Amino acid sequence: MKKKLLAAALGVAGLFGAQTAAAETCGGYYRVQSGDSLSLIADRLYKDVGAWSTIHSQNIDAIGPKPNAIRVGMKLRMPCLNGLPIGLEGGTKISNAAPVAAAPVKVAPGHAAVRQKINLLTGDDYAPFTSKASHNGGLMTDVMNAVMTKADPKEGFAIHWVNDWGSHFDPLLSNALLDVGFPWYRPDCDSMPDSYRCVNFLFSDSMFETLMLLFVDKSRAFTFEDDSDIVGKTLCRPNGFLTFDLDGSGRRWVADNKITLKSPHTVKDCFDMVAKGEADAVAINEFTGRSVVKEHGLADQFEVLPQPLSVLGIHAVVHKSHPRAEEMMALVSRGLQDIRDDGSYQRIIEDHLSRIWAEF
């Protein structure tokens, strides 16, 4: 009898020890259960319904473009955000999951020897993707640096910051004054083969998927379940922001005047237009939209619709006329695959996502 009691005690102790060890991890994998939705999972695991979009973007290959396409038993990656969720299979030790102190970029003075390297091109003030003031230069700068470090080209590499984004495609990349640019969205080149980017550039594999979301006034009903719901609506996206997702994949919303597109100067102007009833929704990437909502205290007035308008990959690009174009894109894609395989990609993504969501 004593042996049975001792065995039972050891079993309970072992179970408790396992639960304690599991609880000391952050992030990991979650299996979808009956009745789950991404919003319910986000509310349960992150205590924030809005985190559904991060679950979606981090599992886009499994889920696809529609967040309600999850299935019972599907295994989803849950990134560690602000110390949550805890206790999941495959999580990271909490001691290793906490973001380190932010390290803004320090740009060293240039010198002629850099001409022999592979020269990467990006720009400032595009947080959270690229920003000198952000940790390691922002999410995509951090990823790109890891990609090239892993690829380890024999000539080395250097990252250059040119804040005139309009000069990146032409003349800097078109004339091979610099070699590889990032971060850029790729149009749907199958349905838009004549797009400038499709005609002139090669794209790396996608380095990150971002969601274009619809921000709407809570006082006015707006349903978006499929593309037909958008026809006849007025969307707002600021001047200078890409619009090819509104015409790609056969939509042709702007090209065929199926919608009205308002393009004021700033994202905040778009929110003001929706508040005044001059537009139906702000159509913007989730990070920019959520940042404006937070900065201007709009959370009580606006909500995010639970269906992305589009899912866009972010890529590195090289001009097709570059004499080493194919080689450089293969180099980037190989480095990207390597950091995915060794886990460093996920650590970079989760580090930055924790910082981003802490600001929301």
CATH of domain 112-206+314-359: 3.40.190.10
In percent, the amount of the chain with pLDDT more than 90 equals 84
Residues 6 or more apart whose Cβ sits within 8 Å of residue 154 = none
160-178 confidence digits (pLDDT tens): 999 999 999 999 999 999 9
Backbone angles phi, psi at 328, to 5 degrees: -70, -40
CATH architecture of the domain 209-311 equals 3-Layer(aba) Sandwich (3.40)
Distance from the Cα of residue 345 to its chain's centroid: 13
Please give the Cα distance from 68 to 128 (Å, whole number): 27
pLDDT in tens, 69-84: 999 999 999 999 989 9
Q: Over 90: is that where the pLDDT of 113 sits?
A: no
Residue 181 near residue 317, CB atoms below 8 Å:
yes
Residue 108 has pLDDT above 90, yes or no: no
pLDDT of 107: 81
Over residues 306-318, the pLDDT tens digits come to: 999 999 999 999 9
First to last CA, the chain: 57
pLDDT at 239 over 80: yes
CA neighbor of 179 nearest in space, from 317, 336, 334: 317
CB 62 within 8 A of CB 76: yes
Amino acid at 300: D
- pLDDT, the chain, mean: 91
pLDDT score, position 15: 32
Rounded to a whole number, what is the largest CA-CA distance in the chain?
Answer: 84
The per-residue pLDDT for range 117-141, each reduced to its tens digit, is: 999 999 999 999 999 999 999 999 9
Whether 12 has a pLDDT exceeding 60, the answer reads no
Q: Give the list of residues 6+ apart from residue 134 with CB closer than 8 angstroms, or none.
A: 102, 104, 127, 128, 141, 355
Angle at 292 between CA 288 and CA 298, to 5 degrees: 140
Residue 98: pLDDT band (50, 70, 90) is: low
CATH of domain 13-97: 3.10.350.10
Topology alike, domains 112-206+314-359 and 209-311: yes
Give the start-to-end residue ranges of the domains of the chain: 13-97, 112-206+314-359, 209-311
pLDDT of residue 20: 45
